[in-house]
Amino acid sequence: MGTTQLASVPEPKYWHLKTVLSDALDSEFAVGEILPNERELAARFGVARATLRQALEQLELEGRLQRRRGVGTTVAPPRVGVAVTDPGQAWPGAGDTADTWQPVDSGAAVPPAAVARLLHLEPDAEVHVVRRTRMSHGQPLAAELLYIPAASVPGLGAVDTPGGDGHARAVLRELRRLDLEGQDQAVELGSARADDAKALDRLPGAPVLVVTTRYYAQGRTAAVGVATYRADTCRLTFAETGPLGGTSQR
Question: How far lies 50's CA from each of 41, 46, 73, in Å?
Answer: 12, 12, 16
* β-bridge mates for residue 215, sequence order: 183, 223
User: What's the chain's length in residues?
Assistant: 250
* β-bridge mates for residue 186, sequence order: 212
Res 242: pLDDT:
45
Task: Report the distance separating Cα 77 and Cα 98, nearest Å.
Answer: 22
Give the torsion sign (CA, 235, 147, 248, 124).
negative
Res 248: pLDDT:
40
Check whether 246 has a pLDDT greater than 50: no
Asked if residue 143 lies in contact with residue 227, where contact means CB atoms within 8 angstroms, the answer is yes
Question: Residues with Cβ < 8 Å from 21, sequence gap 6 or more?
Answer: 1, 55, 56, 59
Check whether 7 has a pLDDT greater than 80: no
Asked if residue 231 lies in contact with residue 205, where contact means CB atoms within 8 angstroms, the answer is no
Interval 99-111: pLDDT, tens: 578 899 999 999 9
* β-bridge mates for residue 224, sequence order: 147, 214
Structural domains present in the chain? 13-75 (1.10.10.10), 80-243 (3.40.1410.10)
Interval 154-211: pLDDT, tens: 888 755 555 688 889 999 999 999 999 999 988 998 888 888 888 888 888 888 889 9
Res 86: pLDDT:
60
Task: Report the distance separating Cα 63 and Cα 182, nearest Å.
Answer: 33
